[in-house]
Every structure is written in structure tokens, then in C-alpha cells.
Amino acid sequence: MTGERVWVAGVGMTTFGVHYELTNHDLAGWAVRSALSDAGAGVTSVDAAFFGTAAHGFLERQAMVSGQIALRGMGFESIPVHNVENACATGASAFGLAVTQVRAGDADVALAVGAEKMHVGDPTRTMELFDTAYDVSDPAALVRTLKELGGEPDGEDPGRRSIFMDIYAALARNHMRLYGTTQAQLAAVAAKNHAHATDNARAHFRTAMTIADVLRARKLSHPLTVPMCAPVTDGAAAVVVCNDSGLRRLGSDRPIEVLAAMVGSGADHDPASFDQHITRQVAGRAYERAGLGPEDVDVAEVHDATAFGEVLQTELLGLVPPGEGGPAAWRGETTLGGRIPVNPSGGLESKGHPLAATGLGQVFELTEQLRGEAGSRQVPGARIALAENGGGFHLGEEAVASVIILGSR
């Protein structure tokens, strides 16, 4: 590994949920102040900041300089502030940029922030936001791609939903055809994540559900039901990263090492090729940078915008073999206490999915896990943790993928 060693010195996160009374910048301030306190840092300790938001411009018309406005309001002055947008991987991308800045030696201490206010009193407008996360110049191409992947959906149109539920449903139907994955296995993923979230005080939903509960819930695009899908959520998360010099300056005594922070986009390939999928490629680079393999991972947070998302990503990350994501969840392998616990936070399905905050929320959870501070959600002896976060959709896969690997000292 070249360049400076990089550490997570502090993490902060709001509760994820519905915050009608708070603005995007209020949420950001909550998370930033928590992260600075956790790192033993002050505003003047930070040399550079990366502020992520995917929806602020579309929903609240703050299309530019959101980070400068938010951070100046918290007392940050003179430092470079970079605004970041990368769909649902915005927060993870901000984290990757902060790590790169520190590793290059251009900052000793950097701040990554992701903040999202999704409930703005206009649910239709919020749903329209998701229609901007694929190629808007050729919407017919998306329709063709989904039909090629998943055929025609079964049943009546279930009403208002994000287009990404149709995307995940088509991907799920294709996976069911290829590998025999079942709807009950998807329900097992959702039930597992809802159970994990019951002990997460920051989660949007904290009610346990059985597999039967998940299966009989309101249907979305087949095979998905509502509890298999992430809710619309407000929230923010922030992470302070630093090099060895910054660590000495802060005096943080609980640092977690950033072993890899990779972000990538897709490339032309056969859509049926498992090994050429964007997550597979980015994960390979991350494992190489960290000098580790999937067998070394003790706990993972993955992008389960739907239960099928977790099935697919655990396979692409090499945590389970191709086609085994559903059966592994059914057998309890990905549950707390299982062989490879996945989404101990409750995942996006239960913790919630405030787009730009999601990737940094994953880092928050995994930092607590590696510090041994996750309470009843603790994975015993966790030393290596992995976060996977995807965003958008382009040519049959995510438009952007991030894989972060963290290690305890």
C-alpha cells in the first residue's frame, strides 16, 4: 500500500427516520458535531471537507454550494469544501475522496459528510427524484433492459413507488430464473434485517418481522413486498479521517484503519458475466489494496435497498458463492451469530436509506463493531469489516459502486 496510513478517528450519525422539523443542514450539523466530538476534534482541526447530498438540489433547490453553506454555519472557515453527488453512493464517495486527500498528504485531517432531507411535504416530488438516477435521455432503454432481465412483472400495478423497486424486481426475477432463488429466501433476508434493527436506536424501523409477515405484506413489483424495500428516510452521517500526524494531533485513542476505499464505474461487458459486474471489479481492487480476501471479513454492511440487493451483493463480494445468497440467508449464515453477519445495523431495509448518508452510516456501524461498542448487535471478535454501497443504474448494473474495508488495530 502506498501513501500515508489513514484512520477513522471519529464517526457521527443522526437517527434515521422522518425529521419534518429539521433541514438538510440541521441534519448535517448534528452528524458533524457528533463525529468531531467522537474524534476529540474541533472545527479548526479539519483541513478539508467533502460534503455529500444527492437530493438537496432537486427537492429543496439548493443545487450548488450546499457544503459551503452548511459548514460555514457550523463555524468552518477557509478550508477547501468539495460538494459530492454520486446517487446512493454519495456518502461513500465523499469518504473515498477524504481518504485520498489524506493518503496523498494534502490534509492531515479530513471530514466526509452525507446529509439528506427526503420528506419535504411532496411525496410525488420525492419519488420523481429517483427518475434522475438513470439515463434520462433514453428512458426507453431502461424499459428494454428491465424487460430483458426480468420479463413482464406479474400482477396489477401496485401504485406509487420508486423506479428502483422495479429495477431490483427485474434483477431478482432474473436471479430466480438463473439460480432458483425463492421469494421466501428474500423474505428471510428482510426478516433478518428487521430483527437486527430492533436493537439499533438510530434505525428508522425497529419492529421485528417474521418471514411470514414479510411475505403477506403489501406487494410491490414481484417478487418484492414492502418490508423487503428501504423506506424513504431523512438523516445524516459524518466521518473524520486522518493520517498518523493528524491522529497525534487529535489524540484519538480508538482509531480504525482504512485498509481500502475504492469507488468505480462500469465497463462494457456481457450482462450475463458475473465476474465483470461492477461490484465484483471494485471489490477485487479493494481486496488487493487491503491484502485480504472475502474469507477474512468478519462483518459486512451491504447496500440492501431491497432484500434482493443483499442477496446479490453478498455473492458479488465473494462472501457466499454465486447463487448462494438466498440459501445462506435462509440457513442463518448472515444473521448475527452466523458465519458472516451481514447488516447488523438492520441495513437499508430497516435502518433506512437517506441516500447521501447511507455509505457513511455503514462506516459508522462498522466502526462501532470494530471498536467492540455495538452492544447487543456486536459481532464477537470482529477485526475486519467491509461496506459495499451502490448508486444509480446504467446498462444493467449500478452506475457507481464503492467498497470500503476497515480493520481494527
Count the alpha carbons within 13 Å of 236 in the hemisphere toward its beta carbon: 30
CA separation for the pair 64, 358 (Å, rounded): 21
Q: Does 88 share its domain with 67? A: yes
Residue 153's pLDDT band (cuts 50, 70, 90)? low
Residue 2 above 80 pLDDT? no
Angle between helices 90-103 and 358-371 (to 10 degrees): 60
Q: Rounded to the nearest 5°, which phi and psi values hold at 29?
A: -60, -40
Q: Does 340 share its domain with 266? A: yes
Q: Does 80 share its domain with 158? A: no
The domain boundary residue, chosen from 217, 242, 258: 258
Residue 143's pLDDT band (cuts 50, 70, 90)? confident
Higher pLDDT, 209 or 157: 209
- pLDDT for 321-346, tens place per residue? 999 999 999 999 999 999 999 999 99
Q: Is 63 within a domain?
A: yes
Q: Does 319 share its domain with 368? A: yes
Domain count along the chain: 2
CA separation for the pair 310, 325 (Å, rounded): 8
Q: Rounded to the nearest 5°, which phi and psi values hold at 245?
A: -65, -45
CA separation for the pair 233, 252 (Å, rounded): 31
Total residue count of the chain as it appears in this document: 409
CA 379 vs CA 2, 298, 382: distances in Å: 30, 8, 6
Closest CA relative to residue 342, chosen from 176, 192, 175, 168: 192
pLDDT at site 160: 67
CA separation for the pair 261, 280 (Å, rounded): 14
Residue 402's pLDDT band (cuts 50, 70, 90)? very high
Q: Does 168 share its domain with 238? A: no
Angle between helices 163-179 and 139-150 (to 10 degrees): 30
Give the residue-averaged pLDDT of 56-75.
Answer: 96
Q: Does 87 share its domain with 138? A: no
Closest CA relative to residue 302, chosen from 316, 288, 291, 292: 316
pLDDT at site 1: 43
Q: Is 1 within a domain?
A: no
CA separation for the pair 174, 27 (Å, rounded): 38
Q: Does 224 share its domain with 349? A: yes
Cell of 269: 461487458
Quote the radius of gyration of the chain (alpha carbons, Å): 20
CA separation for the pair 260, 47 (Å, rounded): 21
CA separation for the pair 251, 245 (Å, rounded): 10
Q: Does 219 share its domain with 326? A: yes
- pLDDT for 88-107, tens place per residue? 999 999 999 999 999 999 99
Residue 273's pLDDT band (cuts 50, 70, 90)? confident
Q: What is the pTM of this model?
A: 0.96
List the domain range (segments joined by +) for residue 224. Answer: 134-230+260-408
Active site (catalytic) residues: 88, 353
- pLDDT for 162-205, tens place per residue? 889 999 999 999 999 999 999 999 999 999 999 999 999 999 99
Residue 409 above 50 pLDDT? yes
pLDDT at site 151: 77
